[in-house]
Homo-oligomer: A and B are copies of this chain.
Amino acid sequence: MRTIEEMGILAKEASYKTGEMTTGEKNAVLLNAAQALLDNMDSVLAANKADVDAAVAKGITGALIDRLTLNESRIEGMADGLRQVANLKDPVGEFDSMTTLENGLTIGKKRVAMGVIGIIYEARPNVTADAFGLCLKAVNAVILRGGKEAIRSNTAVVEIFRKSLRDSGLDENIVQIVEDTSHETAEKMMRLNGYIDVLIPRGGAGLIRTVVMNSTVPVIETGVGNCHIFVDESAKLDTALDIVINAKTQRPGVCNACESLLVHKNIAEEFIPMVTKALMDKNVEIRGDETFAGMVEGVIPATDADWSTEFIDYIISARVVDSIDEAVEHIRKYGTHHSEAIVTENYTNAQLFLNKVDAAAVYVNASTRFTDGEQFGFGAEIGISTQKLHARGPMGLKELTTTKYIIYGNGQVRK
Protein backbone atom coordinates (compact mmCIF):
# COMPACT_ATOMS: atom_id res chain seq x y z
CA MET A 1 0.00 0.00 0.00
CA ARG A 2 1.35 3.42 -0.97
CA THR A 3 1.91 6.00 1.75
CA ILE A 4 -0.03 9.24 1.48
CA GLU A 5 3.21 11.09 0.64
CA GLU A 6 3.88 8.67 -2.22
CA MET A 7 0.33 9.20 -3.42
CA GLY A 8 0.91 12.97 -3.34
CA ILE A 9 4.04 12.67 -5.48
CA LEU A 10 2.27 10.42 -8.01
CA ALA A 11 -0.74 12.74 -8.15
CA LYS A 12 1.42 15.83 -8.74
CA GLU A 13 3.26 14.01 -11.52
CA ALA A 14 -0.05 12.93 -13.08
CA SER A 15 -1.42 16.47 -12.84
CA TYR A 16 1.38 17.74 -15.07
CA LYS A 17 0.14 15.38 -17.77
CA THR A 18 -3.58 16.09 -17.34
CA GLY A 19 -2.73 19.78 -17.71
CA GLU A 20 -1.85 19.11 -21.35
CA MET A 21 -5.01 17.21 -22.30
CA THR A 22 -7.43 18.79 -24.76
CA THR A 23 -11.15 19.01 -24.02
CA GLY A 24 -11.75 16.23 -26.55
CA GLU A 25 -9.28 13.91 -24.85
CA LYS A 26 -10.81 14.57 -21.46
CA ASN A 27 -14.32 13.91 -22.70
CA ALA A 28 -13.20 10.63 -24.26
CA VAL A 29 -11.77 9.54 -20.90
CA LEU A 30 -15.04 10.41 -19.14
CA LEU A 31 -17.15 8.46 -21.63
CA ASN A 32 -14.80 5.48 -21.44
CA ALA A 33 -14.91 5.55 -17.66
CA ALA A 34 -18.73 5.67 -17.71
CA GLN A 35 -18.84 2.64 -20.00
CA ALA A 36 -16.28 0.77 -17.91
CA LEU A 37 -18.42 1.38 -14.83
CA LEU A 38 -21.43 -0.20 -16.54
CA ASP A 39 -19.36 -3.08 -17.94
CA ASN A 40 -18.01 -3.89 -14.49
CA MET A 41 -21.17 -3.31 -12.51
CA ASP A 42 -20.99 -6.78 -10.94
CA SER A 43 -17.65 -6.19 -9.27
CA VAL A 44 -18.90 -2.90 -7.81
CA LEU A 45 -22.12 -4.49 -6.55
CA ALA A 46 -20.17 -7.36 -4.96
CA ALA A 47 -17.79 -4.97 -3.21
CA ASN A 48 -20.72 -2.84 -2.10
CA LYS A 49 -22.55 -5.87 -0.71
CA ALA A 50 -19.50 -6.66 1.41
CA ASP A 51 -19.46 -3.05 2.67
CA VAL A 52 -23.17 -3.10 3.49
CA ASP A 53 -22.95 -6.52 5.20
CA ALA A 54 -20.04 -5.30 7.33
CA ALA A 55 -21.93 -2.12 8.23
CA VAL A 56 -25.05 -4.05 9.20
CA ALA A 57 -22.93 -6.45 11.27
CA LYS A 58 -21.53 -3.41 13.10
CA GLY A 59 -25.07 -2.36 13.95
CA ILE A 60 -25.31 0.56 11.52
CA THR A 61 -28.88 1.25 10.39
CA GLY A 62 -31.22 3.65 8.62
CA ALA A 63 -30.12 6.57 6.50
CA LEU A 64 -26.43 5.64 6.65
CA ILE A 65 -27.11 2.20 5.16
CA ASP A 66 -29.27 3.83 2.52
CA ARG A 67 -26.51 6.24 1.54
CA LEU A 68 -23.97 3.41 1.47
CA THR A 69 -26.01 1.02 -0.65
CA LEU A 70 -25.51 0.83 -4.41
CA ASN A 71 -27.80 -0.89 -6.89
CA GLU A 72 -27.97 -1.07 -10.67
CA SER A 73 -29.85 2.16 -11.00
CA ARG A 74 -27.46 4.06 -8.71
CA ILE A 75 -24.46 2.82 -10.70
CA GLU A 76 -26.22 3.85 -13.89
CA GLY A 77 -26.68 7.24 -12.24
CA MET A 78 -22.94 7.44 -11.58
CA ALA A 79 -22.21 6.63 -15.24
CA ASP A 80 -24.79 9.19 -16.35
CA GLY A 81 -23.12 11.75 -14.15
CA LEU A 82 -19.79 11.19 -15.90
CA ARG A 83 -21.47 11.57 -19.30
CA GLN A 84 -23.09 14.82 -18.14
CA VAL A 85 -19.70 16.16 -17.09
CA ALA A 86 -18.39 15.32 -20.56
CA ASN A 87 -21.14 17.57 -21.95
CA LEU A 88 -20.27 20.53 -19.74
CA LYS A 89 -18.39 23.48 -21.19
CA ASP A 90 -14.69 23.25 -20.40
CA PRO A 91 -13.52 26.30 -18.39
CA VAL A 92 -9.83 25.49 -18.83
CA GLY A 93 -7.99 27.67 -21.33
CA GLU A 94 -10.44 30.58 -21.19
CA PHE A 95 -8.87 33.98 -20.68
CA ASP A 96 -10.61 36.15 -18.08
CA SER A 97 -8.88 39.16 -19.61
CA MET A 98 -6.14 39.97 -22.12
CA THR A 99 -4.75 43.44 -22.54
CA THR A 100 -1.66 45.34 -23.64
CA LEU A 101 0.04 47.69 -21.19
CA GLU A 102 1.62 51.04 -22.05
CA ASN A 103 5.05 49.46 -22.25
CA GLY A 104 3.86 46.97 -24.86
CA LEU A 105 3.63 43.93 -22.55
CA THR A 106 0.59 41.85 -23.44
CA ILE A 107 -0.84 40.33 -20.29
CA GLY A 108 -3.62 37.76 -20.06
CA LYS A 109 -5.27 35.94 -17.16
CA LYS A 110 -5.69 32.34 -18.26
CA ARG A 111 -7.86 29.74 -16.54
CA VAL A 112 -5.77 26.66 -15.76
CA ALA A 113 -6.02 23.47 -13.72
CA MET A 114 -5.71 23.69 -9.95
CA GLY A 115 -3.28 20.73 -9.94
CA VAL A 116 -4.10 18.12 -7.31
CA ILE A 117 -7.40 18.17 -5.47
CA GLY A 118 -8.06 16.14 -2.35
CA ILE A 119 -11.62 15.16 -1.47
CA ILE A 120 -12.46 13.88 2.01
CA TYR A 121 -15.96 12.47 2.25
CA GLU A 122 -18.20 10.09 4.11
CA ALA A 123 -19.91 6.83 3.22
CA ARG A 124 -21.45 7.75 -0.16
CA PRO A 125 -19.77 5.79 -2.96
CA ASN A 126 -21.42 7.94 -5.65
CA VAL A 127 -19.21 10.86 -4.58
CA THR A 128 -16.26 8.80 -5.85
CA ALA A 129 -17.49 8.99 -9.46
CA ASP A 130 -18.74 12.59 -9.21
CA ALA A 131 -15.46 13.87 -7.83
CA PHE A 132 -13.37 11.98 -10.37
CA GLY A 133 -15.43 13.32 -13.27
CA LEU A 134 -15.47 16.95 -12.20
CA CYS A 135 -11.81 17.00 -11.22
CA LEU A 136 -10.68 15.35 -14.45
CA LYS A 137 -12.71 17.72 -16.62
CA ALA A 138 -10.99 20.62 -14.86
CA VAL A 139 -7.73 18.70 -15.64
CA ASN A 140 -6.87 18.06 -12.06
CA ALA A 141 -5.56 14.88 -10.50
CA VAL A 142 -7.57 13.78 -7.50
CA ILE A 143 -6.86 11.93 -4.26
CA LEU A 144 -10.05 10.53 -2.76
CA ARG A 145 -10.45 9.64 0.88
CA GLY A 146 -13.91 8.23 1.51
CA GLY A 147 -15.42 6.83 4.68
CA LYS A 148 -14.18 3.49 5.96
CA GLU A 149 -17.66 1.93 5.64
CA ALA A 150 -17.50 2.39 1.85
CA ILE A 151 -13.86 1.47 1.30
CA ARG A 152 -14.53 -1.73 -0.69
CA SER A 153 -17.05 0.01 -2.96
CA ASN A 154 -14.81 3.04 -3.46
CA THR A 155 -11.78 0.89 -4.22
CA ALA A 156 -13.76 -1.14 -6.77
CA VAL A 157 -14.98 2.01 -8.53
CA VAL A 158 -11.55 3.63 -8.54
CA GLU A 159 -9.91 0.45 -9.86
CA ILE A 160 -12.31 0.52 -12.81
CA PHE A 161 -11.39 4.15 -13.52
CA ARG A 162 -7.67 3.44 -13.20
CA LYS A 163 -7.88 0.49 -15.58
CA SER A 164 -9.87 2.63 -18.02
CA LEU A 165 -7.13 5.31 -17.85
CA ARG A 166 -4.39 2.72 -18.41
CA ASP A 167 -6.33 1.27 -21.35
CA SER A 168 -6.38 4.74 -22.89
CA GLY A 169 -2.62 5.06 -22.45
CA LEU A 170 -3.00 7.63 -19.66
CA ASP A 171 -1.55 7.92 -16.18
CA GLU A 172 -3.72 5.87 -13.82
CA ASN A 173 -2.67 8.13 -10.94
CA ILE A 174 -5.01 10.82 -12.19
CA VAL A 175 -7.29 9.19 -9.62
CA GLN A 176 -6.18 7.49 -6.42
CA ILE A 177 -8.09 6.23 -3.42
CA VAL A 178 -6.67 6.31 0.10
CA GLU A 179 -7.06 2.69 1.16
CA ASP A 180 -5.86 3.24 4.70
CA THR A 181 -8.90 4.92 6.23
CA SER A 182 -7.28 5.63 9.59
CA HIS A 183 -7.51 9.09 11.13
CA GLU A 184 -3.70 9.35 11.11
CA THR A 185 -3.59 9.04 7.34
CA ALA A 186 -6.42 11.53 6.91
CA GLU A 187 -4.53 14.01 9.08
CA LYS A 188 -1.36 13.50 7.06
CA MET A 189 -3.40 14.17 3.95
CA MET A 190 -4.61 17.45 5.47
CA ARG A 191 -0.98 18.53 5.83
CA LEU A 192 0.33 17.47 2.42
CA ASN A 193 1.28 21.01 1.37
CA GLY A 194 3.21 21.07 -1.87
CA TYR A 195 1.41 18.04 -3.27
CA ILE A 196 -2.28 18.71 -2.65
CA ASP A 197 -3.31 22.17 -3.88
CA VAL A 198 -6.76 22.25 -2.34
CA LEU A 199 -8.81 20.04 -0.06
CA ILE A 200 -12.60 19.83 -0.23
CA PRO A 201 -14.48 18.09 2.57
CA ARG A 202 -17.93 16.75 1.69
CA GLY A 203 -20.14 15.55 4.50
CA GLY A 204 -21.59 16.50 7.84
CA ALA A 205 -20.68 19.35 10.12
CA GLY A 206 -18.27 17.21 12.17
CA LEU A 207 -16.22 16.11 9.18
CA ILE A 208 -16.05 19.65 7.80
CA ARG A 209 -14.97 21.09 11.13
CA THR A 210 -12.24 18.44 11.52
CA VAL A 211 -10.84 19.27 8.09
CA VAL A 212 -10.97 23.04 8.63
CA MET A 213 -9.30 22.82 12.04
CA ASN A 214 -6.55 20.37 11.05
CA SER A 215 -5.57 21.28 7.50
CA THR A 216 -2.58 23.31 6.49
CA VAL A 217 -3.44 22.66 2.84
CA PRO A 218 -5.94 25.32 1.65
CA VAL A 219 -9.51 24.12 2.26
CA ILE A 220 -12.80 25.03 0.68
CA GLU A 221 -15.38 24.78 3.43
CA THR A 222 -18.66 23.37 2.18
CA GLY A 223 -22.09 22.65 3.14
CA VAL A 224 -23.39 23.27 6.64
CA GLY A 225 -26.65 25.12 6.20
CA ASN A 226 -28.62 26.50 9.13
CA CYS A 227 -30.90 28.36 6.74
CA HIS A 228 -33.58 30.83 7.88
CA ILE A 229 -36.78 32.17 6.41
CA PHE A 230 -37.97 35.51 7.75
CA VAL A 231 -41.64 36.24 7.14
CA ASP A 232 -41.94 40.01 7.28
CA GLU A 233 -45.09 41.86 8.36
CA SER A 234 -45.92 42.81 4.76
CA ALA A 235 -45.52 39.27 3.37
CA LYS A 236 -48.23 37.67 1.27
CA LEU A 237 -49.07 34.91 3.70
CA ASP A 238 -49.96 32.24 1.14
CA THR A 239 -46.63 32.86 -0.64
CA ALA A 240 -44.85 32.68 2.71
CA LEU A 241 -46.59 29.44 3.53
CA ASP A 242 -45.64 27.83 0.20
CA ILE A 243 -42.03 28.88 0.61
CA VAL A 244 -41.70 27.68 4.21
CA ILE A 245 -43.29 24.31 3.45
CA ASN A 246 -41.16 23.83 0.34
CA ALA A 247 -37.92 24.86 1.99
CA LYS A 248 -38.54 22.66 5.02
CA THR A 249 -40.20 19.56 3.58
CA GLN A 250 -39.41 19.17 -0.11
CA ARG A 251 -36.13 17.44 0.87
CA PRO A 252 -35.29 17.96 4.53
CA GLY A 253 -31.98 16.06 4.52
CA VAL A 254 -29.98 18.59 2.50
CA CYS A 255 -28.00 21.68 3.35
CA ASN A 256 -30.25 24.23 1.62
CA ALA A 257 -33.36 23.11 3.50
CA CYS A 258 -34.87 25.62 5.94
CA GLU A 259 -34.03 24.95 9.57
CA SER A 260 -35.42 28.02 11.26
CA LEU A 261 -38.47 30.24 10.82
CA LEU A 262 -38.64 33.86 11.96
CA VAL A 263 -42.06 35.52 12.00
CA HIS A 264 -42.72 39.26 12.38
CA LYS A 265 -44.87 39.91 15.47
CA ASN A 266 -47.46 41.95 13.53
CA ILE A 267 -48.53 38.95 11.46
CA ALA A 268 -47.84 36.28 14.07
CA GLU A 269 -51.44 35.91 15.13
CA GLU A 270 -52.62 35.21 11.59
CA PHE A 271 -49.60 33.36 10.16
CA ILE A 272 -48.52 31.12 13.03
CA PRO A 273 -51.68 29.00 13.15
CA MET A 274 -51.55 28.61 9.34
CA VAL A 275 -47.89 27.59 9.20
CA THR A 276 -48.13 25.37 12.27
CA LYS A 277 -51.00 23.39 10.78
CA ALA A 278 -49.28 23.04 7.40
CA LEU A 279 -45.99 21.94 8.98
CA MET A 280 -47.70 19.49 11.31
CA ASP A 281 -49.64 18.05 8.37
CA LYS A 282 -46.22 17.22 6.92
CA ASN A 283 -45.11 15.71 10.24
CA VAL A 284 -42.66 18.49 11.00
CA GLU A 285 -41.79 18.94 14.67
CA ILE A 286 -41.79 22.62 15.65
CA ARG A 287 -39.50 23.92 18.38
CA GLY A 288 -40.69 27.42 19.16
CA ASP A 289 -39.76 30.31 21.40
CA GLU A 290 -42.18 31.25 24.16
CA THR A 291 -44.30 33.61 22.06
CA PHE A 292 -44.59 31.19 19.16
CA ALA A 293 -45.35 28.19 21.39
CA GLY A 294 -47.91 30.23 23.30
CA MET A 295 -50.02 30.87 20.21
CA VAL A 296 -50.71 27.31 19.12
CA GLU A 297 -50.95 23.79 20.49
CA GLY A 298 -48.27 21.12 20.08
CA VAL A 299 -45.17 23.29 19.72
CA ILE A 300 -42.16 22.07 21.72
CA PRO A 301 -40.26 24.79 23.64
CA ALA A 302 -36.99 25.54 21.86
CA THR A 303 -33.71 25.28 23.74
CA ASP A 304 -30.80 27.58 23.05
CA ALA A 305 -29.05 24.81 21.09
CA ASP A 306 -31.99 24.51 18.69
CA TRP A 307 -31.26 27.94 17.18
CA SER A 308 -27.86 26.81 15.98
CA THR A 309 -28.76 23.27 14.96
CA GLU A 310 -28.87 22.09 11.34
CA PHE A 311 -31.55 19.43 11.88
CA ILE A 312 -31.52 18.03 8.32
CA ASP A 313 -34.73 16.31 9.40
CA TYR A 314 -38.46 17.00 9.84
CA ILE A 315 -37.77 19.50 12.62
CA ILE A 316 -37.83 23.31 12.49
CA SER A 317 -37.06 25.97 15.06
CA ALA A 318 -39.43 28.96 15.07
CA ARG A 319 -39.40 32.37 16.68
CA VAL A 320 -41.37 35.60 16.73
CA VAL A 321 -39.28 38.74 16.15
CA ASP A 322 -40.15 42.38 16.77
CA SER A 323 -38.57 43.78 13.59
CA ILE A 324 -36.48 43.04 10.53
CA ASP A 325 -33.46 44.24 12.48
CA GLU A 326 -34.06 41.57 15.10
CA ALA A 327 -34.35 38.99 12.31
CA VAL A 328 -31.03 40.11 10.82
CA GLU A 329 -29.42 40.03 14.28
CA HIS A 330 -30.70 36.48 14.82
CA ILE A 331 -29.34 35.31 11.46
CA ARG A 332 -25.97 36.96 12.15
CA LYS A 333 -25.79 35.14 15.46
CA TYR A 334 -26.95 31.67 14.41
CA GLY A 335 -26.64 31.46 10.61
CA THR A 336 -23.94 29.49 8.82
CA HIS A 337 -23.64 31.86 5.83
CA HIS A 338 -25.34 29.42 3.48
CA SER A 339 -28.82 30.47 2.26
CA GLU A 340 -31.21 32.95 3.86
CA ALA A 341 -34.61 34.19 2.68
CA ILE A 342 -37.03 37.02 3.40
CA VAL A 343 -40.68 36.95 2.39
CA THR A 344 -41.87 40.52 2.09
CA GLU A 345 -43.79 43.00 -0.06
CA ASN A 346 -41.82 45.92 1.37
CA TYR A 347 -39.20 47.20 -1.09
CA THR A 348 -36.91 48.79 1.49
CA ASN A 349 -36.92 45.73 3.70
CA ALA A 350 -36.12 43.47 0.75
CA GLN A 351 -33.04 45.56 -0.09
CA LEU A 352 -32.04 45.84 3.55
CA PHE A 353 -32.16 42.06 3.98
CA LEU A 354 -30.17 41.47 0.77
CA ASN A 355 -27.51 43.92 1.90
CA LYS A 356 -27.23 43.12 5.59
CA VAL A 357 -27.40 39.33 5.60
CA ASP A 358 -23.96 37.81 5.12
CA ALA A 359 -24.53 34.53 3.26
CA ALA A 360 -23.60 32.74 0.06
CA ALA A 361 -27.15 33.16 -1.26
CA VAL A 362 -29.78 35.64 -0.08
CA TYR A 363 -33.35 35.34 -1.38
CA VAL A 364 -36.38 37.57 -1.61
CA ASN A 365 -39.67 35.68 -1.97
CA ALA A 366 -38.23 32.31 -2.98
CA SER A 367 -37.34 29.00 -1.37
CA THR A 368 -33.80 28.45 -0.07
CA ARG A 369 -33.86 25.07 -1.82
CA PHE A 370 -32.64 26.69 -5.06
CA THR A 371 -29.04 27.04 -3.82
CA ASP A 372 -27.67 24.27 -6.00
CA GLY A 373 -25.27 24.08 -8.94
CA GLU A 374 -27.81 22.51 -11.26
CA GLN A 375 -30.58 24.95 -10.30
CA PHE A 376 -28.18 27.88 -10.81
CA GLY A 377 -27.33 26.56 -14.26
CA PHE A 378 -23.76 25.31 -13.62
CA GLY A 379 -24.61 21.76 -14.74
CA ALA A 380 -22.98 19.96 -11.83
CA GLU A 381 -21.50 20.88 -8.51
CA ILE A 382 -18.74 19.61 -6.26
CA GLY A 383 -20.36 21.20 -3.20
CA ILE A 384 -21.64 24.49 -1.86
CA SER A 385 -19.00 26.77 -0.41
CA THR A 386 -19.96 28.62 2.75
CA GLN A 387 -16.62 30.39 3.05
CA LYS A 388 -15.64 33.64 1.44
CA LEU A 389 -12.35 32.78 -0.25
CA HIS A 390 -12.18 31.57 -3.85
CA ALA A 391 -15.73 30.32 -4.25
CA ARG A 392 -18.97 31.18 -2.50
CA GLY A 393 -22.18 29.25 -3.08
CA PRO A 394 -22.52 26.33 -5.48
CA MET A 395 -19.14 25.31 -6.94
CA GLY A 396 -19.07 24.06 -10.50
CA LEU A 397 -16.17 23.15 -12.80
CA LYS A 398 -14.83 26.69 -12.88
CA GLU A 399 -14.29 26.69 -9.12
CA LEU A 400 -12.04 23.62 -9.51
CA THR A 401 -9.64 25.68 -11.60
CA THR A 402 -7.31 28.60 -10.93
CA THR A 403 -5.73 31.24 -13.15
CA LYS A 404 -2.25 32.29 -14.13
CA TYR A 405 -0.96 35.43 -15.74
CA ILE A 406 0.61 34.89 -19.15
CA ILE A 407 2.84 37.76 -20.29
CA TYR A 408 4.16 38.22 -23.82
CA GLY A 409 7.05 40.67 -24.05
CA ASN A 410 9.72 41.68 -26.50
CA GLY A 411 12.55 42.49 -24.15
CA GLN A 412 10.81 44.75 -21.62
CA VAL A 413 12.68 45.51 -18.40
CA ARG A 414 11.45 47.49 -15.43
CA LYS A 415 12.57 51.04 -15.02
Residues on A lying within 8 angstroms of B by beta carbon are 16, 19-20, 99, 101, 105, 107, 114-115, 193, 197-198, 212-213, 216, 218-221, 236, 239, 242-243, 245-247, 250, 332, 354-356, 358-367, 369-371, 375-377, 387-390, 392-393, 402-414
Give the complex CA separation of A409 and B369 in angstroms. 13
Tell me which residues across on chain B come within 8 A of A246, comparing CB atoms. Answer: 413-414
Do A375 and B239 touch (CB < 8 A)?
no
Give the complex CA separation of A411 and B367 in angstroms. 8
Do B392 and A389 touch (CB < 8 A)?
no
Tell me which residues across on chain B come within 8 A of A389, comparing CB atoms. Answer: 198, 218, 220, 389-390, 402
Min CB distance A347 to B, Å, is: 11
Do A362 and B413 touch (CB < 8 A)?
no
Do B364 and A409 touch (CB < 8 A)?
yes
Min CB distance A223 to B, Å, is: 16
Tell me which residues across on chain B come within 8 A of A114, comparing CB atoms. Answer: 388
Q: List 28 A-B contacts (CB under 8 A).
A: A19-B356, A19-B358, A20-B356, A99-B377, A101-B375, A193-B212, A198-B388, A218-B387, A220-B389, A243-B411, A354-B406, A359-B404, A360-B404, A360-B405, A361-B407, A364-B408, A365-B412, A366-B413, A367-B413, A369-B413, A370-B407, A370-B414, A376-B405, A388-B402, A390-B390, A392-B403, A392-B404, A392-B405
Do A365 and B413 touch (CB < 8 A)?
no
Do B218 and A216 touch (CB < 8 A)?
no
Do A216 and B220 touch (CB < 8 A)?
no
- Which residue from B16, B197, B390, B406 sits with its C-beta under 8 Å from A332? B16
Tell me which residues across on chain B come within 8 A of A359, comparing CB atoms. Answer: 404
Give the complex CA separation of A332 and B370 in angstroms. 42
The residue in chain B whose Cβ has the minimal distance to the Cβ of A409 is: B366
Tell me which residues across on chain B come within 8 A of A404, comparing CB atoms. Answer: 358-362, 392-393
Tell me which of A115, A221, A390, A411 has the highest count of chain B C-beta atoms within 10 A of its own C-beta.
A411
Tell me which of A366, A377, A412 has the highest count of chain B C-beta atoms within 10 A of its own C-beta.
A366
Tell me which residues across on chain B come within 8 A of A358, comparing CB atoms. Answer: 19, 115, 404
Min CB distance A209 to B, Å, is: 9
- Which residue from B193, B367, B388, B392 sits with its C-beta under 8 Å from A414? B367
Do A414 and B362 touch (CB < 8 A)?
no
Give the complex CA separation of A182 and B243 in angstroms. 51
The residue in chain B whose Cβ has the minimal distance to the Cβ of A215 is: B216
